[in-house]
Amino acid sequence: MAAISDMILDRQSTDLDLGYGNKVLGLALYKAKELGINKVLLTCDSTNTASRKVIEKNGGVLQDEIIIEQDKPTKLRFWIEIK
């Protein structure tokens, strides 16, 4: 079984609403499929609406919301099935 351990998407404020997040995640999912990965787990802070939208637009289904550190935003965990 192949695994991709971490992918961090960071954008400059000038790049907002240009669709780069969707393109980057789409390419990452394409590569994962090439590697034989059929399901990926993605996380984002509960306060990060833009990342949540990108994940959901690419087929992310919310699994749960977890606390990693006290006094920090909770983490949302999403699964994407790659077809």
Residue 75 three-state SS: strand
Residues 6+ away with beta carbon under 8 Å from 44: 51, 52, 55, 75, 76, 78
What is the token pair recorded at 46? Answer: 């509960």
pTM of this prediction?
A: 0.81
Reported as a single tens digit per residue, the pLDDT across 22-61 is 999 999 999 999 999 999 999 999 999 999 999 999 999 9
Reported as a single tens digit per residue, the pLDDT across 50-63 is 999 999 999 999 99
